[in-house]
A and B are shown apart, each in its own frame.
Chain A
């Protein structure tokens, strides 16, 4: 299994509070991603990173920010949590060979976040 950990694994917080989720990898993969999984929506991309300090928005980025100061860590921050952000959050990593089509992503175990 790819070395991906997420912390915390479970969190309950209140509306309006800031929350930071951490993803840590030991694979030295270049790309890191944050997804959320909700019933009826599948996996939706929030933000992703293609290198240290290089990030881009995904499909559902509103209300979220990210930072990547080291290859191994990718942080997802909810500046002011809302009940609509109650979800399961997955981090993923991948890497590419130059000119290749390799795009397999490995996922972490997930963080279940509840915003009351």
Chain B
């Protein structure tokens, strides 16, 4: 059973518009959530994170929202740029346990 789910395998967005990537989780013990970005032939790179004591964290064009009651988080990218085209992984952990990853969403930003 998947504890972290990314139900959209792919997403296409026009350059300059908002990209919204979604992630759902089932384990109520998760208290830390992260987004990673991955380009082909490279390792994933950390993008942004949020603790369960917050409902929003912003870093430049990237904002992560956490809805604990719905066990849902989302990543907003505004404005989207062609260089944002990549696979995005949602991840979660509880305390010091290893991260659990979703299957990823491939974002294509079209110029």
User: Counting CB contacts under 8 A, is B69 at the interface?
Assistant: no
User: Counting CB contacts under 8 A, is A84 at the interface?
Assistant: no
User: Counting CB contacts under 8 A, is B51 at the interface?
Assistant: yes
Contacts of B49 in A (CB 8 A): 104
Interface size on A, residues (CB 8 A): 23
Q: In the bound complex, do residue A101 and residue B45 qualify as a contact, i.e. CB atoms below 8 Å apart?
A: no
Q: In the bound complex, do residue B46 and residue A42 qualify as a contact, i.e. CB atoms below 8 Å apart?
A: no
Report Cα–Cα, A16/B86, bound state, in Å: 35
Report Cα–Cα, A7/B25, bound state, in Å: 34
Report Cα–Cα, A42/B96, bound state, in Å: 21
In the complex, which residues 5-41 of chain B have their Cβ closer than 8 Å to any Cβ of chain A? 6, 31-32, 34, 36, 41
24 residue pairs bridging A and B, Cβ less than 8 Å apart = A35-B101, A41-B103, A42-B89, A42-B101, A42-B102, A42-B104, A43-B89, A43-B104, A44-B101, A45-B99, A45-B100, A90-B44, A96-B96, A101-B32, A101-B95, A103-B32, A104-B46, A104-B49, A105-B46, A105-B99, A106-B46, A107-B36, A107-B43, A110-B43
